[in-house]
Amino acid sequence: KAGVTQTPRYLIKTRGQQVTLSCSPISGHRSVSWYQQTPGQGLQFLFEYFSETQRNKGNFPGRFSGRQFSNSRSEMNVSTLELGDSALYLCASSFLAAGDNEQFFGPGTRLTVL
């Protein structure tokens, strides 16, 4: 079974631009979560989508948004990029059956903002 895939793997943008990252979950998984990883702040939860609805949201500004499609693929968007948005963005998928809460992560998208 294929794992979680994220595209693109690397991205370079300049301040003020916007960016869209994509995540394809493991087949059959309906929950997709997004995280930001930086050396200073560590791993921080951005949001979770389940059946096309945002179910949980972290403490990030409104410039960070996401959505989920009917095939469970998810995208996150960051508008008006700032230097501090440079990070590794990870997504995780989960099946969410009763008693099963394994969350599997993709390889991440490394975003550099210049």
Instruction: Note the residues at the interface with another protein (CB under 8 A).
Output: 4, 31-33, 35, 42-45, 47-48, 50, 55-56, 58, 90, 92, 94, 96, 101-108
Q: Indicate the residue among 20 and 50 with the shorter CB distance to another protein.
A: 50
Q: Indicate the residue among 15 and 57 with the shorter CB distance to another protein.
A: 57
Q: Is 105 exposed, middle or buried (0-12, 13-18, 19+ CB in 10 A)?
A: middle
Smallest distance from the beta carbon of 112 to another protein, in angstroms? 14
Q: Indicate the residue among 61 and 107 with the shorter CB distance to another protein.
A: 107
Query: Could you give the C-alpha distances from 57 to 15, 16, 19, 83, in angstroms and in order?
Result: 24, 23, 19, 22
Give the list of residues 6+ apart from residue 41 with CB closer than 8 angstroms, or none. none
**What would you report as the CA-atom Rg of the chain, rounded to the nearest whole angstrom?**
14
Smallest distance from the beta carbon of 41 to another protein, in angstroms? 10
